[in-house]
Chains A and B, each alone.
Chain A
Amino acid sequence: MNEGVMAMNTKSRYAWAYVMIAPTLIGTLLFWSWPAVYSIYLGFLKSENFGLVNHWVGTQNYEKLFKDQEFWRNLRNTLFYMVLFVPLTLVCSTVLAVLLNAKIRGRSTYRVIYFLPQVTMPAAAAMVWVVLFAQDYGLVNYALGTHVSWLSDPRFAMYSLVIVGVWAAIGFNMLLILAGLQGIPRTLYEAAEIDGAVGFNKFRYITLPLLTPTLFFTTIVLMIGATQVFDSIYMLIGKTNVALPAVRSLVYAYYQNAFVYYDQNYGAAIVNILLLVNLVLTGVQFLFQKKWVVYD
C-alpha cells in the first residue's frame, strides 16, 4: 500500500470519515446508548403519576426484586427456555443443513419450505399454534391421540413454546449453517476418502470442526434471542393462563410491570438484570470459544 498517497490529504480524509460515521454514531448515542444508561438510572428511582414525578430510592427496587420469588422463577424460566431452545435449534438446523448439502433433488424447494416460518410474523404464527395446540379440538392432540393441554398445563407449556420457537428458527439457522458447510473445501473430503473415511466419520472429523466458527456465531445470536423471548409468550400463553408463572420470561415480566402494572422502575430493574445475564453469557461464550472453535 502506498502510504505516501494515503497520507496526502490526511486531514480532509479524517473530516470525511467523521461525516460518514456521524449519522450512525449520533443516532446510536442518542437512541440506544443513552437509553441503555438511562435504564440503569431508572432502576434507582420510584416514579409516580405516570412517570411525571420521580424520587431517588437507591437499591430499593433491586432489594424488592431479589426478595421476589417470582423474579427468580422468571430468571430460571428464561434460562431454561434458552437451554432447551438453543441446542435443539442448532441440532435440527445442522442436521437439515447437512442433509440439504448433499446432492439431492428438490433442494431449493426444501429450502424455501423450511424458510417459510421465518417470513411469517411471530404474532400470526402464534395465533395458529393456539388452535393447533388446543386441548379438545387441536390438531396436535388429534394427530397424537392424546388429550394434553399443551399451552395451559404448567408441565408442558414450556416445551410447547420451545417447539414453536424451534419451528420458526430452523429455516434461518439452517441457511447460516448451510453457508458454512459450503465454505468447506471439497478437496478435504476427497483427501479423507482416500484415507478411507466414510459417512459419519467424515462429518465428525472434517465437517464439524470446520463448521465450529459458524456454530459459534449462530449460538451467540440464538442465545441472545432466546433470553429475550416475549412474542410467543404474549400471544400463546396470555394473562390468565395457569401456566404463565411456569413460562414467564424476564422480558414478559418487564412488560407486565412496566406497562400493565404501571411500575416502570421495577420493570427497568428487571431488564437491567437481563442485561447483566446477557453480558455474562456472552463473556462465558468468548472465554470458552478457544476450547471448541477451530479457526483455520
Chain B
Amino acid sequence: MLFRNKTITSVLSLSLVATLALAGCSSKNDKNGNEASKPADNGQASEKASEKPAKDVTISYTIWDKNQQPAMEAIAKEFTAQNPNIKVKVEVIPWGDYWTKMSAAAPAGTLPDVFWMHGGQFIKYATGGFLEPITDKVQSGIIDLNNYAANLGSIYTLDGQNYGIPKDFDTIGLAYNKELFDQAGVPYPDDTWDYNKLAEVAKKLSQPDKGIYGFAAKMDTQTGYWNDMLANGGHILSDDQTKSGYDEPASIEALKFRYQMTLDKSSPTHQQMTDTDSTDMFKSGKLAMIFEGSWRNGDIDSSEIIHGKWNWAPLPKGKVKRGNIINGLGNVMSAKGKNKDESSLFLQFLGSKRASEITAEMGAAIPAFNGTQDAWVKSKPDLNLQIFIDQVADAFPYPSGTKAYPVWFAKEPEIMSQAWGGAISVEDAAKKVADMMNQAIADNK
C-alpha cells in the first residue's frame, strides 16, 4: 500500500517532466503558423464564413480607455443580438501598458481578436504581418472607406493594403471652469484668445495659497505642448517625417512659454501634477483651465463637483495659427486569431453607422462615420462640443506613421520630465529629444 503511494508520486513527476520536455517540440509548429498568417492569404476567411454552420464562439475586443468601455460593450451587445452565436468580451488594458502588452502578444500570436489601433503603432504591426488585411472587403465594397470623416481611412493603409476601419477621431479643446471665471469676474475663453491672453488670465485666476491654479501647464504631448509648438510655427516632425522639430527655435520658444507658467505659479508645478493628475484637479474644481482631448469629455463631466459648471472653448491662437492635433483610432483584427470569420464580422459591425451612432449617443468619442458626429455633439447639450468638430480644419495629423514613432514616443517623456522637473533647461531637453528622435529615425529606416 505504501509502495503504491510513492510509485504514483514518481510516475507523476516523471510524466510531468516528460510533458515539459515534449512541450518544447511545439516551437516548430509555431513557426509554420507564423508563415501561414502572412498578409498574402487574405480573402479566404470570409468565403468560408458562409459555408460553416454557426458555432458558439467568444471573441476578444481589447481597448485602452475605460471611459469608453460602456459604449464598446453596448456595441458588442447589439452585435451579439444580431449574431447570437458570437459573444464579444471587451477588455481594457490602460494606455500606459497597452503597447508594452501588445508588443509582447504580437510575436506570441496572442493578440486579441479585434483591438484598437493607434496611428503611431500601426506600421510596426502591419509590416510584421500581425494584422489581418481587409483589402478585399474594401475593394468589393463591403467596407466603404469614403464613409469616414477627414480621410481617416488612409491612416490604416500600408502599401496598398487596408488593415483598419476608422473608429473615431479626436481633437483637443480648452476646458474651463465657469465658476472660477465668474468669481474673478473674468469673461470666459472664446475663439479670439491667444496664448498671451491665456497666460494673463491664468495668472489672474491663480490662488496658489488655496491650491487653485489658472491653467495646467502639464508636461504632455498630444494634449499639451505639441499644440503650442504647432501654433507657434514649430514642428513635432519635419513634413517629410525625417527630422525632429523639437529643436526649432519656434518649438523651443513654445515649450519655454508653457514651462514658464509652472514657474509663475499660474500653473501647478510638475511635482503637483505628478502627485495629482491635472485632469483630476480640474475635475475637483481646483483648476480654471486645461487642455484636454475630446475623449475625456464624458469622464470630466462625470465629476459631481464641476458638473454643470464647466465648458469647452477652442485652443488659443499662437503666433502663426491655431494649433491642434487630430488623431483617429482604428479597429483592427489579429492575423492569428482563432475565430477570424467571426472577428471579421464584428470588425465590419464596428465600422457600421450603427456602431458610430452608439459611440456618439453614449458620448464616448467623436465617431468616424460621416453624419454621426452631430449625435455626439448633442450627447451633452450643455457643453460646447462643436468646437472639437470646428477645429478639425486647423488640426494637424498626429505625427505618427513611421516605424520610429513608437521608439521615440516611449523615450520622449523621460527627457521632457527632466526639464519640467527643473533638472535641465527646457532648451537642453528639447535638443536632447531632437537628437534622440533623429537617432530613432535613423535606426528605424
Contact = CB atoms under 8 A, between A and B. Distances in A.
Interface of A: 19, 22-23, 26-27, 30, 49-52, 134-137, 149, 152, 154, 238-245, 259-262
B20 A26 contact: yes
Contact of A50 (B106, B272, B421): B106
B274 A240 contact: yes
B128 to A, nearest CB: 5
B271 A152 contact: yes
A239 B417 CA distance: 9
Contacts, number: 84
A262 B416 CA distance: 20
23 contacts: A19-B14, A22-B14, A22-B17, A27-B20, A30-B24, A49-B127, A52-B107, A137-B275, A149-B271, A154-B423, A239-B417, A240-B413, A240-B416, A241-B274, A242-B271, A242-B420, A243-B421, A244-B417, A245-B414, A245-B418, A259-B100, A259-B103, A261-B411
Interface string B264-307: 00000011101100000000000000000000000000000000
Nearest to A131: B275
B389 interface: no
B422 interface: yes
A27 B23 CA distance: 13
Interface string B6-35: 000010011011001100100000000010
Nearest to B99: A260
B407 interface: yes
A137 B24 CA distance: 53
A244 B414 contact: yes
Residue among A27, A134, A152, A154 with max Cβ neighbours from chain B (10 Å)? A152
B410 interface: yes
Contacts of B414: 239-240, 244-245
Interface majority SS on A: helix, strand, loop or mixed? Answer: loop
A241 B274 CA distance: 8
B397 interface: no
A30 to B, nearest CB: 7
A151 to B, nearest CB: 8
Interface of B: 10, 13-14, 16-17, 20-21, 24, 34, 96, 100, 103-104, 106-107, 127-128, 130, 211, 219, 270-272, 274-275, 406-407, 410-411, 413-414, 416-418, 420-423
Contacts of A135: 271-272, 275
CB-based closest 7 A-B pairs: A242-B421, A50-B107, A240-B417, A240-B413, A49-B128, A23-B13, A134-B275
A289 B434 CA distance: 51
Contacts of B24: 30
B270 to A, nearest CB: 7
A154 B270 CA distance: 14
Given A240-B413, A240-B414, A262-B407, A50 B103 contact: yes
A50 B34 CA distance: 13
Given A26-B17, A261-B407, A242 B417 contact: yes
Contacts of B413: 239-240
B418 A27 contact: no
Nearest to A262: B103
Contacts of B271: 135, 149, 152, 242
Residue among B14, B17, B106 with max Cβ neighbours from chain A (10 Å)? B17
Contacts of B130: 50
Interface majority SS on B: helix, strand, loop or mixed? Answer: helix
B31 to A, nearest CB: 9
A52 B38 CA distance: 13
B100 to A, nearest CB: 6
Nearest to A237: B274
Contact of A242 (B128, B411, B423): B423
Residue among A27, A134, A260 with max Cβ neighbours from chain B (10 Å)? A260
A240 B104 contact: no
Given A22-B17, A260-B410, A238 B104 contact: no
A50 B128 contact: yes
Nearest to B443: A263
Contacts of B422: 242
Given A23-B17, A30-B20, A240-B416, 11 more contacts: A19-B14, A26-B17, A50-B130, A51-B107, A52-B107, A52-B128, A135-B275, A152-B270, A238-B274, A239-B414, A242-B420
Given A240-B274, A261-B411, A23 B107 contact: no
B103 to A, nearest CB: 6
Contacts of A50: 103, 106-107, 128, 130
A27 B17 CA distance: 8
Contacts of B418: 242, 245
Contacts of A239: 96, 413-414, 417
B20 A262 contact: no
Contacts of A260: 100, 410
Contacts of A27: 17, 20
A262 B21 CA distance: 29
Contacts of A26: 17, 20-21
A152 B14 CA distance: 52
A134 B276 CA distance: 9
Contacts of B423: 154, 242, 245
A52 B14 CA distance: 33
A67 to B, nearest CB: 13
A244 B416 CA distance: 12
A231 to B, nearest CB: 16
B99 to A, nearest CB: 8
Contacts of B270: 152, 242
Contacts of B21: 26, 30
A19 B100 contact: no
A120 B291 CA distance: 39
Contacts of A52: 34, 107, 128
B272 A136 contact: yes
Residue among B96, B130, B275, B418 with max Cβ neighbours from chain A (10 Å)? B275
Contacts of B410: 260-262
Contacts of B417: 239-242, 244
Contacts of B106: 50
A152 B128 contact: no
Contacts of A22: 13-14, 17
A259 B104 contact: yes
B304 to A, nearest CB: 21
Nearest to A259: B100
Contacts of A49: 107, 127-128
A241 B34 CA distance: 39
